[in-house]
Amino acid sequence: MTMTIKEIASLTGVSVATVSNIINNKGRVGEDTRARVEKVIREHHYRPNSVAKNLKTKTSRSIGVIAEDMTVFVMPEIIDGITECCEENDYQILLVNLRLYKKYSDTYYKTNHHRERVKAEIQKLISMQVDGIIYVAAHERVNDVIPKNLPIPVVMAYSFSNRGEVPSIVVNDQGGAEKITEYLLSKKHEKIGVIAGKKESIHTLSRLEGYQRALLRHQIFYDPDLVVYGDWDRQSGHDAMENLMKKSPTAIFAMNDVMAGGVYDWLKEHEMTPGKDVAVVGYDDQVMSAYENPPLTTVGLPLRDIGYKAGEEIIGMLSSGDTYKAESRIDVDCRLCERESVFDYRG
Amino acid sequence: MTMTIKEIASLTGVSVATVSNIINNKGRVGEDTRARVEKVIREHHYRPNSVAKNLKTKTSRSIGVIAEDMTVFVMPEIIDGITECCEENDYQILLVNLRLYKKYSDTYYKTNHHRERVKAEIQKLISMQVDGIIYVAAHERVNDVIPKNLPIPVVMAYSFSNRGEVPSIVVNDQGGAEKITEYLLSKKHEKIGVIAGKKESIHTLSRLEGYQRALLRHQIFYDPDLVVYGDWDRQSGHDAMENLMKKSPTAIFAMNDVMAGGVYDWLKEHEMTPGKDVAVVGYDDQVMSAYENPPLTTVGLPLRDIGYKAGEEIIGMLSSGDTYKAESRIDVDCRLCERESVFDYRG
DNA sequence: TTGTAAGCGTTATCAT
DNA sequence: ATGATAACGCTTACAA
């Protein structure tokens, strides 16, 4: 069907070794033969069979990407980042889509069934000779699905691995919250109500810390009554406002865009306009936040950067072998998405 | 590092041929030896090296997926569908993300640069021994990037290939428009204004046809003044209303959800409430449509089905070789997403 | 500078 | 029922 190196060799009257050397610019080759061989290669559109090459070299320049669920909003950007990095370094991607949300609803990470599945997929990838694996989680959490003692490096994106040899690439959530609080502060808002996420969430915790740090830096007293907990839903954002507004904050920091939408709802119901009577900011930079009225100022998750960094990390581990000292955890900074839901407060 | 078939063979005192036979249930093998060998395989967690296997069998049970841009909203679902089908049939996926939007803005498909790129990527995939290729476009159009005379089958998802040997899996756009118009008709709306997309768009054309067919079936006169062209933007949906409302339609069919958002805007500006004073429906089922107020009734693109069908098609071509007669074009039906923006009209 | 040949881990053919 | 052995297409000592 397609050509082999042997055919090229006989076509040009040289040995396969020479052809191989020419293809990979190795060894000493005469200018004339090189030219002759390259010409034939070009004319016949010859491409080395990489399967044979991989078998011989025991490397595939490919990395396995295991995505917990393709359809969760964080995935495309993360994978885009991974592919960008891999493209730059000439690595291929073998994609595995676990489809966890579809299969086990959203409690999958509590079941054991899926651990077995991950283990099996990793084995399969290893048998395909991938050089390394990136596991991409659908949401941040402590994630211990990666089996121990794997013969190839693994990095975890968007979750915390609980082991040092598996580096974690995660969002600098505290930094993000600090950044947006700083922003509010810079607009002279000092009484900032916060609608937090679920109490047990890792995000809620770090974002709260970030909020507090910003206040601290500006020597503003932290008032616990100014924070109300929601459950990430729009409705809960709406409902939280009832209590929150009793303290008459001039700005609201909702810990995700969806709840910020609920804040908009409440405000409009009460004849107030967001970004004018009360400043409101969200978190995540979900698509709809740009379509809200007014467009929501929020903090953008560094999704693509996480993917890119994950790629860098694994390729780093690969290219320098043991000498490469992987960070066990990398926090990637968020960016501020300034839109129109915040005004300058003049007390 | 990891085990080979040879080691298993010597460990059990049989030949590699027998081990291979056992692994693939081929040939005659004694019950006892089989048991013995399988035990050793299990104990040592042996997994055959698939690179070696692929080299030998000249097949990889993997298909290359070339995505024009991972971050376009249609991609995740389409790829999810592909992966689902591939998983069921035990195929692996090699993902290539062209990142076309990122690289060449949104006019990439007019340049030639990207055709070369596609060609190169296809060659690379072929050299990796993929059995087939699915090309996933970021938006529907006539797409002729696939080179001729490829040694493996290709299918095009979400675009029309211009050649018979490359089957196209596309949205049944006409059917979708017909379906939603039928729905409006069933709610007794007969004067249905439409905000079309750009005039030259393939979507605009087919959706208009669907609209007309539904009217025809109900013997309702098609009034060209009832259709105004927008450019898919929210603003254009808003602006179109100015003229459209002069004809006092009881329902508006916007050809995408974004423009339907513009319709909402216009209505609210004029103290009318969508779904109460005027029915409005969109198209695409973008995420935000569920968050509009009231939630927008729209037609859902069969994205995941397109991916799944593309998988089926390529696997069909693969498994039955030449005997498989591929359809050159498959139209996948949309589904109606009934929400709250339509009311029963009582003239 | 170029060629010979071994070997990567499988499968498959043909003996035994 | 099992075993030798030749491929698959490449890279890489080592020899010439």
Chain D, protein-covered positions (CB within 7 A): 1-5, 7-14
Residue A106 has pLDDT above 60, yes or no: no
User: Rg of chain B's alpha carbons, rounded to an integer?
Assistant: 26
pLDDT for res B288: 84
Band the pLDDT of B321: cuts 50, 70, 90.
Answer: low
Residue A104 has pLDDT above 80, yes or no: no
Q: Could you say which of B62, B87, B97 has the minimum Cβ distance to residue A83?
A: B97
Contact between residue B92 and residue A128 where contact means Cβ atoms under 8 Å apart: yes
Residues of A at the B interface (Cβ-Cβ below 8 Å)? 1-2, 45, 47-52, 54-55, 60, 62, 65, 70-71, 75-77, 79-80, 83-84, 87, 92-97, 99, 102, 123-124, 126-129, 151, 234, 261, 265, 287-288, 291
- Hey, are the CB atoms on A128 and B94 less than 8 Å from each other? no
Band the pLDDT of A1: cuts 50, 70, 90.
Answer: low
Residue A295 has pLDDT above 60, yes or no: yes
Q: Identify the CA nearest to A121 among candidates A154, A92, A88, A143.
A: A154
pLDDT for res B21: 94
Q: Could you say which of A51, A84, A124 has the minimum Cβ distance to residue B129?
A: A51
pTM comes to: 0.93
Q: Give alpha helix (H) positions in chain B.
A: 5-12, 16-23, 31-43, 50-57, 75-88, 100-104, 113-127, 173-186, 202-217, 234-244, 257-269, 303-319
Residue A301 has pLDDT above 90, yes or no: yes
Band the pLDDT of B251: cuts 50, 70, 90.
Answer: very high
Residue A327 has pLDDT above 60, yes or no: yes
Which residues 6+ apart lie within 8 Å of B14 measured at CB?
B33, B37
What is the DSSP code string of A92-141? EEEEEE--HHHHHGGGGGG-SHHHHHHHHHHHHHHHTT-SEEEEE-SS-S
Contact between residue A207 and residue A176 where contact means Cβ atoms under 8 Å apart: yes
Give the whole-number percent of chain B exceeding pLDDT 90.
Answer: 83
Residue B105 has pLDDT above 70, yes or no: no
The answer to whether the beta carbon of residue B29 comes closer than 7 angstroms to any atom of strand D is: yes
Beta pairing, strands A335-337 & A298-300:
antiparallel
Contact between residue B167 and residue B326 where contact means Cβ atoms under 8 Å apart: yes
**A294 upstream amide cis, omega within 30 of 0:** yes
pLDDT for res A109: 60
Mean pLDDT of B252-273: 95
CA A23 to C1' D14, whole Å: 20
Mean pLDDT of B11-37: 92
Q: Identify the CA nearest to B275 among candidates B339, B340, B338.
A: B340
pLDDT for res B75: 97
pLDDT for res B97: 97
Q: Give alpha helix (H) positions in A257-302.
A: 257-269
Q: pLDDT tens across A213-262, in order?
A: 999 999 999 999 999 999 999 999 999 999 999 999 999 999 999 999 99
Q: Which long-range contacts (CB under 8 A, 24 or more apart) does A146-150 make?
A: A146/A118, A146/A122, A147/A118, A147/A119, A147/A122, A150/A122, A150/A126
Q: Which residues of A259-281 are buried (b: 16+ CB within 10 A; e: fewer)?
A: bbbbbbbbbeeeeeebbeebbbb
d(CA B255, CA B231): 10
Amino acid identity, position A109 = Y
Mean pLDDT of A140-152: 91
Residues of A in contact with B311 (CB under 8 A): none
Mean pLDDT of B209-224: 97
Residue B198 has pLDDT above 90, yes or no: yes
Mean pLDDT of B155-169: 93
The answer to whether the beta carbon of residue A59 comes closer than 7 angstroms to any atom of strand D is: no
Name the residue in chain B with its Cα closest to that of A287. Answer: B288
Task: Tell me whether domains B60-171+303-333 and B173-301 share a fold.
Answer: yes
Residue B111 has pLDDT above 90, yes or no: no
Between A16-30, A270-284, B209-223, the lowest mean confidence (pLDDT) is in A16-30
Q: Could you say which of B2, B49, B123 has the minimum Cβ distance to residue A151?
A: B2
Residue B189 has pLDDT above 90, yes or no: yes
Per the structure, the residue whose CA is closest to nucleotide C7 at C1' is A56
The answer to whether the beta carbon of residue B33 comes closer than 7 angstroms to any atom of strand D is: yes
Residue A88 has pLDDT above 80, yes or no: yes
Residue B320 has pLDDT above 80, yes or no: no
Residues of A in contact with B49 (CB under 8 A): 55, 127, 129
The answer to whether the beta carbon of residue A20 comes closer than 7 angstroms to any atom of strand D is: yes
Mean pLDDT of A201-211: 95
Mean pLDDT of A36-62: 94
Name the residue in chain B with its Cα closest to that of A4. Answer: B127
Is the model more confident about A31 or about A182? A182
What is the DSSP code string of B107-142? GGGG-SHHHHHHHHHHHHHHHTT-SEEEEE-SS-SE
Band the pLDDT of A110: cuts 50, 70, 90.
Answer: low
CA B93 to chain centre: 16
Residue A238, Cβ density class (10 Å: 0-12 exposed, 13-18 middle, ≥19 buried) = buried
Band the pLDDT of A105: cuts 50, 70, 90.
Answer: low
Domain spans in chain A, listed from the N-terminal domain onward: 5-48, 60-171+303-333, 173-301
Residues of B in contact with A126 (CB under 8 A): 2, 47
Residue B271 has which token pair? Answer: 């103290």
Residue B207 has pLDDT above 60, yes or no: yes
Q: pLDDT tens across B274-315, in order?
A: 999 999 999 999 988 988 889 999 999 999 999 999 999 999
- Hey, are the CB atoms on A79 and B70 less than 8 Å from each other? yes
Name the residue in chain A with its Cα closest to that of B303. Answer: A71
Mean pLDDT of B193-202: 94
pLDDT for res B249: 97
Q: What is the mean pLDDT of chain A?
A: 93
**CATH ID of B173-301, from 3.90.1150.10, 2.40.160.20, 3.40.640.10, 3.40.50.2300:** 3.40.50.2300
To which H or E segment does residue A170 belong?
strand A168-171
- Residue B281: beta bridge partners? B253, B297
Residue A101 has pLDDT above 90, yes or no: no
Name the residue in chain A with its Cα closest to that of B62. Answer: A94
Which residues 6+ apart lie within 8 Å of B208 measured at CB?
B177, B194, B196, B227
CA B5 to C1' C10, whole Å: 8
Band the pLDDT of A29: cuts 50, 70, 90.
Answer: confident
Q: pLDDT tens across B328-342, in order?
A: 899 999 999 999 999
Angle ∠(A153,A156,A161) on CA atoms, nearest 5:
100
d(CA B156, CA B164): 11
Contact between residue B259 and residue B232 where contact means Cβ atoms under 8 Å apart: yes
pLDDT for res B112: 73
Residue B27 has pLDDT above 90, yes or no: no
Mean pLDDT of A334-339: 97
Angle ∠(A52,A58,A63) on CA atoms, nearest 5:
100
- Hey, are the CB atoms on B128 and A96 less than 8 Å from each other? no
pLDDT for res A26: 87
**Tell me: domain B60-171+303-333, CATH 3.40.50.2300, correct?**
yes
Per DSSP, the three-state class of B259 is: helix
Give the whole-number percent of chain A exceeding pLDDT 70.
Answer: 95
d(CA A256, CA B135): 35
Amino acid identity, position A38 = E
Q: pLDDT tens across A147-173, in order?
A: 998 999 999 999 999 888 899 999 999
What is the DSSP code string of B185-210? HHTT---EEEEE--TT-HHHHHHHHH
Residues of B at the A interface (Cβ-Cβ below 8 Å)? 1-2, 45, 47-52, 54-55, 60, 62, 65, 70-71, 75-77, 79-80, 83-84, 87, 92-97, 99, 102, 123-124, 126-129, 151, 234, 261, 287-288, 291, 293
pLDDT for res B107: 64
Mean pLDDT of B78-104: 93
Q: What is the mean pLDDT of chain B?
A: 93
pLDDT for res A131: 95
3-state secondary structure B24-40: CCCCCCCHHHHHHHHHH
Q: Could you say which of A70, A94, A129 has the minimum Cβ distance to residue B94?
A: A94
Residue A44 has which token pair? Answer: 């016949």
Residue A100 has pLDDT above 80, yes or no: yes
Angle ∠(B7,A321,A307) on CA atoms, nearest 5:
110
d(CA B241, CA A20): 67
Mean pLDDT of B310-324: 83
Residue B323 has pLDDT above 70, yes or no: no
d(CA B147, CA B82): 22
